[in-house]
Chain A
Amino acid sequence: MIPAKFDYVKPGSVDEAVRALADGGEDAKIIAGGQSLLPLLRLRLSYPDLLVDVGGIDELRGVSDHGDSLLIGARTTHYQVVHDPLIGEHCGLLAQAAGTVADPAVRHRGTLGGSLAHGDPAGDLPAVAVALGATLIARGPGGEREIAASDFFVDYLTTALEPGEILTGVRVPKLGGDWGYRYEKFHRTAQAWAIVGVAALARRSNGHVAEARVGLTNMGSVPVRASAVEAAAAGAEATRDALNAAAASAADGTEPPADLHGAPDYRRHLARVLTGRALAAAAGV
């Protein structure tokens, strides 16, 4: 890797990191696992003057139980998310989706917070955070604030984080045992980004889907909540046909990108098919 020149600091606490960011000014950038930033540096698509490495801040790591929710440190790696027993028990969707991120080497380096803060709509975890109704916790010079996942993703690679703010953790509501889930990722090779991904949650009751939540990966400049599908699925019979019918509106109002792996019309088609499949799996049919 031959990046342009940058300065580098590795603070030991969030407060130190916030100060380092403030001192670094506009061209300071946080690096956690480097999953997304290192390729940008390598390709010289990003020219930060200062990298603030949060890899030494232990308070950003780990998962804790807060009654009706879990708090996951921003620096928790995908590997840890996949294998954490609390996450597995209370928000398995996140664990399953994290297991589809890139490859094992990247999953050992890349972090949950990094993936969300990068704000790439092709990333798997933003749509999952939106579907789970997660809350993101940020700390900056003005103190700490909480941002709903649905408000966090503003535009392509742009989040609600202010300059100088650090994402410290993610609060995820626990799902009850009557919820099923499925992250349906469609990609050409195991390590590739999702052409389209669908994060589906379904609460089943008496042969019907009582409640559903659906987040879409790579169907626009931000992760998309498929509200029309959720409305159609609520109360639908837990059958493939009924859920496919609900999924028919999955692409409504989306503006998916065009690239070498798929044109927008293909992505819209995939969103419908994959949403039907994800809902069916989440509803256990």
Chain B
Amino acid sequence: MTATAESPATEIGRARTRKEDARLVTGQTTWTDNLVLPGMLHMAFLRSPYAHARITSVDVSAAKSLPGVVAAFSGADFAEEQGSLPCAWPVTPDIVIPPHPPMATEEVRYVGEAVAVVVARDRYTAADALASIDVSYEPLEPVLDIRTALDESSPKVHEAGNKSYEWVFANGDLDAAFSGAPVVIERNYRQQRLIPCAMEPRAVVSSWVGDDVTLWSATQIPHILRFAIAAFFGIPEQSIRVIAPDVGGGFGSKLQVTAEEVLAVLISRRLGKPVKWTESRSEGNMTVHHGRDQWQRIRIAADSDGKIRGLSVDLLADMGAYLMLVTPGVPILGAFMFPAIYKMDAYSFRCTGVFTTKMPTDAYRGAGRPEATFAIERIMDELAAELNLDPLEVRERNWIRHEEFPYTTICGLTYDSGNYEAATARAKELLGYDQLRAEQAERNARGDSVRLGIGVSTYTEMCGLAPSRVLGSLSYGAGGWEHASIRMLPTGKVEVVTGSSAHGQGHETAWSQIVADQLGVPFEDIRVLHGDTQISHKGMDTYGSRSLTVGGMAVVSACDKVIAKAKVIASAMLEAPPESVEFAGGKFSVGQSGAGGGKDVSIQEVALATFAAHNLPDGVEPSLDSDATYDPENFSFPHGTHLCATEVDTETGMVTIRSYVAVDDIGKVVNPLIVEGQVHGGIAQGIGQALYEEAVYDEAGNLLTTTLADYLLPSAADLPSYITDRTESPAGNRLGVKGVGEAGTIASTPAVVNAIVDALRPLGIRDITMPCTPERVWRAIETARASAAASNGAANSNGGAA
């Protein structure tokens, strides 16, 4: 033994630097846009400048005749074969799912919708030629505000009207909860529209050879994409190979079957040449599916001690112009999260999905759960303020106590474990909560022009999407399992094939750590393969913080099967009955090793013997390879307490985050470095929603935030150093893991906004619409001061009259 005392006993838990990083950070990998195929042509799309218009004619002939242009098409040229982009989540039986042609044929319904395409020998020529396409439009009225879109008088986005669906859920006696409740608070919160800005833009290459097509795409979902192209566009599934090479981020935006992907397949088939398309950032801001965009009416009824009696939520959710892959389901994922960690007797939820003439919305990091968490955590602060309680006190009076797990919530979810007390106590300690409260009181008392606020978010989430049966009961179009294969190579090395397709998460490292522990082989001997449907033929891909809890468990199951097979062969090699053979640390053994008579054989030796297959027992196949498909029994429920302290400059409205503490309970940690990265990035993205990001359309439906000069993203220079820690309560799977991909984003937005409102509450402010820009904060302060002055004046004059 050469192992040193510093080596951890297991790979799981080690802060391994990531195997994939060298090729990613040095740019040595092949992104989709790097691909060059012989004869490859380049596509550029002409996009609608109107939010809503009838197309009266499209003339591509002038563009076609330009040097270097190979072809140009309008939607009409593909009317027969382009079909409709799929929506896989018809949340109600009577949902309206309008046809969604990849290229518009009769009507355009958002600025940026593809109307025509040029295919040229290089991308510059393709882009230049767009100016030669002549499109005549008959402008129609845009529909931009979901609060008025359902009025009789509103123009219609689709013939069937502007309502897509209404989805309801109720449990408990809401009337009883609200009637006679000592405290009833109602608030309306705005979840602004966000634009996912993955570092790598979307890109696609399609190439046909004979009857077979290979589609490279910067996608999160190579398997679902392959299925969708087969199921909805008439290409036999066995003829489709989808490759997601290294993909530079997605955050849900690449969980989509896009117009450009479908058109790349159809156009390359028609031309008999490979085609490529890569979006520009401005094109992406317009046409990558957007996130959030809800109006939330939330009402809470409580007793005078702060105990919640009931909660009622009424959402208007902006679908945009069409329903894309999971558009209608996103707010429904949030339906189960409004009650969060709190106990209550009654809950009702209603969501109305509304069409507008804007880019469709769909999944964006957290997908429904950040929206829900924001609303409940904001109104819990309002409840605390109403009762003059500390925000953590009112939460503690309502949360599920750690000894009450497993606990079935008012939504019918069974939370398997949690310890909100422990996470909160640790977060308070790390922030110095009590000292900051004292400082705040002192500064408020002297009327400091820079106010201190402390924001709280005691979040939970449901992730690890998802038990297939539950998804079925929610009318989702697919299951939630994941697949993995293990290939034992003759030299004892291991290939792990995963259906969970990483786009920056670090699966290659984490899966290697899992397999190293399961099979007892060195970390370095393991290679993880993913993202190519010809290699990884089966999978449900990566989203919803599901990879580790579902895909990681599939890897564990596959390892189990390898060990079971190897044990039979090892027992023959050891000349001992299988039931007497034990497996640990990569060795099959019988008897007491070191005590004489003990014998062992390594899994690598078994692999080589299996390859040779000279002396296998009768009936045993010469293979240790295995496949496993894992379907979880329940969601997982990470939770945590995030605390944020902000300084708010009341003279300018500028908000500065002074300190941020995140204590997360995500179960066991496979790789602390990866977890830290997910938490940091997640918090940054949630801060982005709280302070910076908003997709803004003007009154004509033009997107004003097409560049990153207008759509502001925080960079490292704008963010604080986070203080992070973890608590650990058990999870319901063998790895003990819960998932961490979305936790930071879900938790941080309300923590930041609660901190800002907490800072300004003494001035009479109880809400600021996100993003809390300096101008909005300043205007809120000005308004509050004006109304305070007015009411002082009124009080004085009343006093005079009395």
Do A and B originate from a single complex?
A: yes
Cβ-defined contact, A263 with B775, below 8 A: yes
Is A8 interfacial (CB-CB < 8 Å)? no
Is B615 interfacial (CB-CB < 8 Å)? no
Is B652 interfacial (CB-CB < 8 Å)? yes
Q: Which of A190, A193, A261, A273 contacts B715 (CB 8 A)?
A: A190
Given A2-B123, A266-B775, A269-B778, check contact A188 B712 (CB 8 Å): yes
Cβ-defined contact, B718 with A190, below 8 A: yes
Cβ-defined contact, B705 with A2, below 8 A: no
| Residues in A neighbouring B775, C-beta threshold 8 A | 261-263, 266
A266 — nearest CB in chain B belongs to which residue? Answer: B775
Given A4-B128, A261-B773, check contact A189 B715 (CB 8 Å): yes
Complex CA distance for A191 and B692, rounded to whole angstroms = 13
Cβ-defined contact, B712 with A192, below 8 A: yes
| Residues in B neighbouring A189, C-beta threshold 8 A | 692, 712-715, 717-718
| Residues in A neighbouring B654, C-beta threshold 8 A | 186
Q: Which of A39, A192, A260, A274 contacts B704 (CB 8 A)?
A: A260
Complex CA distance for A269 and B781, rounded to whole angstroms = 13
Cβ-defined contact, B692 with A193, below 8 A: no
| Residues in B neighbouring A39, C-beta threshold 8 A | 707, 709
- Please give the number of chain A residues whose Cβ is less than 8 angstroms from any Cβ of chain B in the complex: 26
| Residues in A neighbouring B704, C-beta threshold 8 A | 260
Is B430 interfacial (CB-CB < 8 Å)? no
Q: Give A181-196 as 1s and 0s: 1 = Cβ < 8 Å from B's Cβ atoms.
A: 0000010111111010
Is A43 interfacial (CB-CB < 8 Å)? yes
Is B304 interfacial (CB-CB < 8 Å)? no
| Residues in B neighbouring A261, C-beta threshold 8 A | 773, 775
Q: Give B750-783 as 1s and 0s: 1 = Cβ < 8 Å from A's Cβ atoms.
A: 0000000000000000000000011100110000
Is B582 interfacial (CB-CB < 8 Å)? no
CB distance from B770 to the nearest CB of A (A): 14
Cβ-defined contact, B280 with A2, below 8 A: yes
Cβ-defined contact, A260 with B128, below 8 A: no
Complex CA distance for A195 and B776, rounded to whole angstroms = 14
Q: Give A1-18 as 1s and 0s: 1 = Cβ < 8 Å from B's Cβ atoms.
A: 011110000000000000
| Residues in B neighbouring A274, C-beta threshold 8 A | 652
| Residues in B neighbouring A195, C-beta threshold 8 A | 774
Q: Give B691-728 as 1s and 0s: 1 = Cβ < 8 Å from A's Cβ atoms.
A: 11000100000001101011011110110000000000
CB distance from B436 to the nearest CB of A (A): 25
Q: Give A264-276 as 1s and 0s: 1 = Cβ < 8 Å from B's Cβ atoms.
A: 0010011001100
Cβ-defined contact, A191 with B705, below 8 A: no
Cβ-defined contact, B123 with A273, below 8 A: no
Cβ-defined contact, B714 with A270, below 8 A: no
Is B169 interfacial (CB-CB < 8 Å)? no
Complex CA distance for A269 and B696, rounded to whole angstroms = 24
| Chain B residues numbered 93-133 whose CB sits less than 8 Å from any CB in chain A | 123-124, 127-128
| Chain A residues numbered 240-268 whose CB sits less than 8 Å from any CB in chain B | 260-263, 266
Cβ-defined contact, B717 with A273, below 8 A: no
Cβ-defined contact, B652 with A273, below 8 A: yes
Complex CA distance for A270 and B282, rounded to whole angstroms = 30
| Residues in B neighbouring A42, C-beta threshold 8 A | 280
Is B77 interfacial (CB-CB < 8 Å)? no
| Residues in B neighbouring A4, C-beta threshold 8 A | 124, 127-128
Q: Give B466-505 as 1s and 0s: 1 = Cβ < 8 Å from A's Cβ atoms.
A: 0000000000000000000000000000000000000000
Interface size class of B (residues with CB under 8 A): 20 to 34
CB distance from B199 to the nearest CB of A (A): 15
| Chain B residues numbered 30-68 whose CB sits less than 8 Å from any CB in chain A | none
CB distance from B693 to the nearest CB of A (A): 11
Given A2-B123, A4-B128, A260-B696, check contact A188 B774 (CB 8 Å): yes
Given A2-B280, A260-B710, A266-B778, check contact A191 B124 (CB 8 Å): no
Is B21 interfacial (CB-CB < 8 Å)? no
Complex CA distance for A6 and B123, rounded to whole angstroms = 15
Cβ-defined contact, A5 with B124, below 8 A: yes
| Chain A residues numbered 61-97 whose CB sits less than 8 Å from any CB in chain B | none
Q: Which of B280, B691, B705 contacts A260 (CB 8 A)?
A: B705
Is B390 interfacial (CB-CB < 8 Å)? no
Complex CA distance for A184 and B779, rounded to whole angstroms = 21
**Chain A contact residues, majority secondary structure:** loop
CB distance from A247 to the nearest CB of B (A): 12
Is B439 interfacial (CB-CB < 8 Å)? no
Complex CA distance for A4 and B44, rounded to whole angstroms = 14
Is B404 interfacial (CB-CB < 8 Å)? no
| Residues in B neighbouring A43, C-beta threshold 8 A | 282, 707
| Residues in B neighbouring A190, C-beta threshold 8 A | 715, 717-718
Cβ-defined contact, B709 with A193, below 8 A: yes
B711 — nearest CB in chain A belongs to which residue? Answer: A260
Complex CA distance for A250 and B771, rounded to whole angstroms = 28
Complex CA distance for A39 and B707, rounded to whole angstroms = 10
Is B651 interfacial (CB-CB < 8 Å)? yes
CB distance from B694 to the nearest CB of A (A): 8
Q: Which of A2, A263, A270 contacts B124 (CB 8 A)?
A: A2
| Residues in A neighbouring B707, C-beta threshold 8 A | 39, 43
| Chain B residues numbered 619-653 whose CB sits less than 8 Å from any CB in chain A | 651-652
| Residues in B neighbouring A3, C-beta threshold 8 A | 124
Q: Give A221-235 as 1s and 0s: 1 = Cβ < 8 Å from B's Cβ atoms.
A: 000000000000000
| Chain B residues numbered 118-152 whose CB sits less than 8 Å from any CB in chain A | 123-124, 127-128
CB distance from B684 to the nearest CB of A (A): 12
Cβ-defined contact, B124 with A188, below 8 A: no
Complex CA distance for A193 and B707, rounded to whole angstroms = 13
| Residues in A neighbouring B718, C-beta threshold 8 A | 189-190
B774 — nearest CB in chain A belongs to which residue? Answer: A188
Q: Which of B124, B127, B652, B709 contacts A192 (CB 8 A)?
A: B709
A3 — nearest CB in chain B belongs to which residue? Answer: B124
CB distance from A277 to the nearest CB of B (A): 9
Cβ-defined contact, A2 with B778, below 8 A: no
Given A2-B123, A260-B705, A260-B710, check contact A191 B717 (CB 8 Å): yes
CB distance from A147 to the nearest CB of B (A): 29
Complex CA distance for A274 and B774, rounded to whole angstroms = 14
| Chain A residues numbered 156-193 whose CB sits less than 8 Å from any CB in chain B | 186, 188-193
| Residues in A neighbouring B717, C-beta threshold 8 A | 103, 189-191
Q: Give B525-557 as 1s and 0s: 1 = Cβ < 8 Å from A's Cβ atoms.
A: 000000000000000000000000000000000
Q: Which of A5, A103, A186, A193 contacts B652 (CB 8 A)?
A: A186
Complex CA distance for A261 and B776, rounded to whole angstroms = 10
| Chain A residues numbered 119-177 whose CB sits less than 8 Å from any CB in chain B | none
B655 — nearest CB in chain A belongs to which residue? Answer: A188
Q: Give B425-459 as 1s and 0s: 1 = Cβ < 8 Å from A's Cβ atoms.
A: 00000000000000000000000000000000000
CB distance from B753 to the nearest CB of A (A): 16
| Chain B residues numbered 165-221 whose CB sits less than 8 Å from any CB in chain A | none
Q: Give A30-48 as 1s and 0s: 1 = Cβ < 8 Å from B's Cβ atoms.
A: 0000000001001110000
Q: Give B6-41 as 1s and 0s: 1 = Cβ < 8 Å from A's Cβ atoms.
A: 000000000000000000000000000000000000
Cβ-defined contact, B715 with A270, below 8 A: no
Cβ-defined contact, B692 with A270, below 8 A: no
B778 — nearest CB in chain A belongs to which residue? Answer: A266
A43 — nearest CB in chain B belongs to which residue? Answer: B282
Complex CA distance for A262 and B709, rounded to whole angstroms = 14
| Residues in A neighbouring B712, C-beta threshold 8 A | 188-189, 192
Could you jot down 19 A-B contacts, CB within 8 Å? A2-B127, A3-B124, A4-B128, A5-B128, A39-B709, A103-B715, A188-B691, A188-B692, A188-B773, A188-B774, A189-B715, A190-B715, A192-B709, A192-B712, A260-B705, A261-B773, A262-B774, A263-B775, A266-B778
8 new A-B contacts, CB < 8 A, other than A4-B124, A189-B713, A189-B714, are A44-B127, A103-B715, A186-B774, A188-B691, A191-B715, A192-B712, A262-B774, A263-B775
| Interface residues in chain B, defined as those with a beta carbon under 8 Å from any beta carbon in chain A | 123-124, 127-128, 280, 282, 651-652, 654, 691-692, 696, 704-705, 707, 709-710, 712-715, 717-718, 773-775, 778-779
The 8 nearest A-B residue pairs measured at CB? A190-B717, A2-B127, A266-B775, A189-B718, A273-B651, A262-B775, A189-B712, A190-B718
